[in-house]
Structure 1
Amino acid sequence: MSGMKTTMLLAALTALFMALGYTLGGSGGAVIALLAAAGMNLFTFWNADKIVLRMHDAREVDAGSAPDFYNLVRELAQRAGLPMPRVYIIDQDAPNAFATGRNPENAAVAATTGLLSMLSREEVAGVMAHELGHVKNRDTLIMTMVATIAGAISMLANFGLFFRGSNEENGHGNILASLAAVIVAPFAAMIVQMAISRTREFGADRAGAEISGNPHALASALAKISGRAEMIPNPVAERNPAAAQLYIVPTHVSELFSTHPATEKRIAALQDIAQEMGAPALTAAPRASALSPAPRRRRSALDPHGR
């Protein structure tokens, strides 16, 4: 099923590329767009994880440079029965995390310094277990390809809009190019929303709760970071909104490309999972807040700089 969905996604994005190419350059433009899409699909399949990590200026860490964080991920991967992924830290205040890679054997997980500074060790474990849940459920290939290809489509549409006036003799073509640029971003967003089902987040939450053994910690982490992630600027998501669907919680620029269920619903589902697992009930369930206080680095149990 995952392979079929990926194939359908690539076919839809290729068709959109060809339509844009035809709008901007006629039949010749459609052929060029087809060749470009074929090359991009192949290149993205093998390199999408590298593109996404480079996009975020992520730095790879190991047991020597960030021992607490790296060893935590290794422990969780062993619990999940997964190969050890590559581990990255992103120097960014916005608290978030994501997983990438075409399969579990080539997976990578990343967390921002903002997230590592804000959460306790148990909460960080819940977040990273969620990301390993995406790896285990094999969500990462389609999520990463969507982030790169949908972003490229939006850039192509903006390029056509910017240069729509370069051919004064073809007013009809200019109008079509303008219309294409106006509608293509929402259409690309629709493809993202169809491809990245919101049930994937619920599935990764369940997998994360099972891997970490502590659904309450993941619920607490979601409550803490959801409001902050929407408030603090995320330069990567601002440049490429399609990248926002990679993150564990939405950013303040991801409404158009939102594929996340409401955080309150995810927390409620985690409370149900905790009951299924026989975990002690909390006296007060975590609540997501848009006005959560700024994180204090000294409370962090995991130093993102490995000190």
Structure 2
Amino acid sequence: MPIGTLRLLHSRLKNSLQTLLIMGGLALVLAVPGYLLAGGLGIVVSLGVVMAVAFASSRVPARYVLAEAGAGLLDRHQAPRVYRLLDTLYERAGLTQPPQLFYAPSSDLNAFAVGTRRDGGIAVTDGLLRTLTLRQLAGVLAHEVSHLRHGDTRVMSMAAAMTRLTFWLTTALQISLLLMVPMILAGDVRLPWSLLLVVAFAPSLSTLLQLALSRNREYTADLDAATLTGDPEGLASALNVLERHQGRWLATLFGRYPPAGLEWLRTHPPTEERTRRLMKIDELPESSLHHPLGDHGHKPAEINERPGPIGRRYWMRRWR
């Protein structure tokens, strides 16, 4: 069934609504132990801590991880063709900041966005650049550009902060239950069943909601990448390559298909479902019909020079 502009808009609205509902669920799960510990003040303090932690973690730790991984900043003369591709994707995505591409000397096939749309970039591994064609790389880069465009790094940082704080609050509730054991045994206090239920299920429920949010943002980024490149087949092909290279451990452990219940514990949706959705996209907005690579998509990405690690001082200078 063709997916035109109206259906693309419908899919985006649906994914956005799902994001709001999941974030609301995370906030509700966090609010319950906060309320049991300190009433209304506990809810306010908990949500305030989440906002502060999410704001800080979305600006610093991702860059710190890049430095720890030995990543380097690729200049334009080192990867001119990839930067021309990124320029087009940034322009179509409405990102006004110049693109930044980081190189990690790892044989893994991976790419990820760091920072925000105002001061962020995309990191790619050496294995990814050596394995994918430019057409496939365009789909992967467009996927990461979409994460920057929609602020997914900050959304996921907030979700992670909610999950961690829920775990800490339920740990505090467990300690309070242990302190109440003598009074419960003496019959002075009734067994607080509501407290037991919160302690038992809140951390797991929060984790499952966080994983569901991650899968939701991946679907949204796939759809957005197809509109940016005008080539959903390119991203679908890249996903299949990544699955062949990095999904082998699942085949080794579980046979060809992992157990169905395992899907709930994934940060990314199943590749089969992602490619199925991409291949259903037959109509795209007029602005995305011209592929940014022209007729050069079958060629590999060329890196003229591998950069050295940028180190921690680079990030310190960036924020002065």
Range class of TM-score, shorter chain: 0.5 to 0.7
Question: CA-atom RMSD, angstroms?
Answer: 4.6
Q: Of the candidates 205, 208, 228, which is equivalent to residue 211 of structure 1?
A: 228
- Work out the CA distance in 2 between the residues paired with 1:7 and 1:304: 43
Gaps of 5+ in 1: 234-252, 280-298
Whether 1:20 aligns to 2:33 is: yes
Whether 1:110 aligns to 2:123 is: yes
**Amino acid across the alignment from 1:68:** A
Question: CA 1:120–1:163 in structure 2 vs 1: closer, same or farther (change >3 Å)?
Answer: farther
Deviation of the 1:16 alpha carbon? 3.0
Question: CA 1:33–1:138 in structure 2 vs 1: closer, same or farther (change >3 Å)?
Answer: closer
Gaps of 5+ in 2: 1-12, 185-189, 251-260, 292-299, 309-320
Contact 1:119 1:301 survives alignment (8 Å): no
Deviation of the 1:126 alpha carbon? 1.5
- Work out the CA distance in 2 between the residues paired with 1:268 and 1:207: 15
Equivalence map 1:43-54=2 (5 Å): 43-54=53-64
Give secondary structure in 1 for the equivalent of 2:79: helix
Question: CA 1:300–1:254 in structure 2 vs 1: closer, same or farther (change >3 Å)?
Answer: farther
How does the TM-score come out when normalised to structure 1?
A: 0.61
Question: CA 1:215–1:73 in structure 2 vs 1: closer, same or farther (change >3 Å)?
Answer: same
- Work out the CA distance in 2 between the residues paired with 1:21 and 1:186: 16
Deviation of the 1:62 alpha carbon? 2.9
Question: CA 1:195–1:269 in structure 2 vs 1: closer, same or farther (change >3 Å)?
Answer: closer
Equivalence map 1:31-110=2 (5 Å): 31=41, 34-54=44-64, 57=68, 61-64=72-75, 67-68=78-79, 71=83, 72-82=85-95, 83-90=97-104, 94-102=108-116, 104-110=117-123
Aligned residues: 264
Question: CA 1:68–1:187 in structure 2 vs 1: closer, same or farther (change >3 Å)?
Answer: same
Partner residue in 2 for 1:263? 271
Give secondary structure in 2 for the equivalent of 1:62: strand
- Work out the CA distance in 2 between the residues paired with 1:148 and 1:269: 30
Contact 2:215 2:269 survives alignment (8 Å): no
**Amino acid across the alignment from 1:192:** Q
Higher RCO, 1 vs 2 (CA within 8 Å, ≥6 residues apart): 2
Question: CA 1:304–1:95 in structure 2 vs 1: closer, same or farther (change >3 Å)?
Answer: farther
Give secondary structure in 2 for the equivalent of 1:95: coil
Contact 2:26 2:162 survives alignment (8 Å): yes
